[in-house]
Amino acid sequence: MQLSGKVCVVTGASSGIGRRTAIDLAAEGAIVCAVARRRERLESLLDECHGSGHSYLVTDVSRRGQVKALAVHVDRTYGRCDVLVNNAGSSGEHIPFGDPSAVAEVESLMATNFLGAVYCTAELLPLLARSAPSNVVNVGSVAGRIPMSGASAYSASKFAIVGWSEALHYELAGRGICVSTIEPGLIPTEGFPQSDLKNDPLLRHVLGSEEQVSEAIRKAITARKIGRTVPRWYYMVQLPRLLTPPIYRFALRKVTAKYGRQRGLS
């Protein structure tokens, strides 16, 4: 599938991975509909996009009514949707469970990180089916395979995305819609600045980049791939969980205990 002339809806496009992806898609000739909550960021983004026909719509993907309005905008403006990139998400505050506000954080992150993708896919599904062969790319996380200590709400939302996306891939394949999951590892973004790692002369080499994630998203679209981790070698991090569960669980207990002591939780 070539990107030139394809209508691509990108959520969470005001910064980070979403912004980089929107710019790169436009550079390859795609027509981008950028979606986020910050109008001024979206206006600035469109100024950076090559080509014409691009648009934006201020949308909170956790609110289904606003997502319905997005689908109406895409239908009226383009009459089709070839690609949906569900990238909108929040990192949350990593509140330990048991804190009075922990349940509220779970609800908030599930609403944005998971239900936001569900709403966008559901509301744009008629256009995606009409435009088939088409693509849905869900941006998950390595935290959707390996739980992040101290970030149970975030991990839950990303595990949900991974499981739902894989099931949906097979469910929608017969309609010509390819559902892919991109699972970034440690990527410096506005929500995850990774300041400590960036300043470490050794550990900074484990970081990926927004450009790498954008490239993986575009490759998933053009090659209709079911998924990929970014950087690629992060896939190896999952192997202990699959091949040697006792060792994996022992290491995770150690990391969790260390994290708890740092946070004063134990």
DSSP 22-50: HHHHHHTT-EEEEEES-HHHHHHHHHH--
In the numeric block, the tokens 């599930």 are attached to 110
Residue 260: partners with Cβ closer than 8 Å, 6 or more residues away = 149, 150, 266
Active site residue 154: yes
Out of 154, 235, 248, 259, which one is annotated catalytic?
Answer: 154
Q: Which residue has the tokens 């134990």?
A: 266
CB atoms within 10 A of CB 17: 29
Please tell me the distance from the alpha carbon of residue 256 to that of residue 157, in angstroms, as a whole number.
19
Contact 230, 182 (CB under 8 A): yes
- Give residues with Cβ within 8 angstroms of 162, minimum separation 6: 140, 144, 145, 181, 183
Question: d(Cα 22, Cα 32) in Å, to the nearest integer?
Answer: 6
Q: Which helix (H) or strand (E) holds 211?
A: helix 210-223
For residue 196, how many other CB atoms are within 10 A of its CB?
Answer: 9
**Mind telling me the catalytic residues?**
154
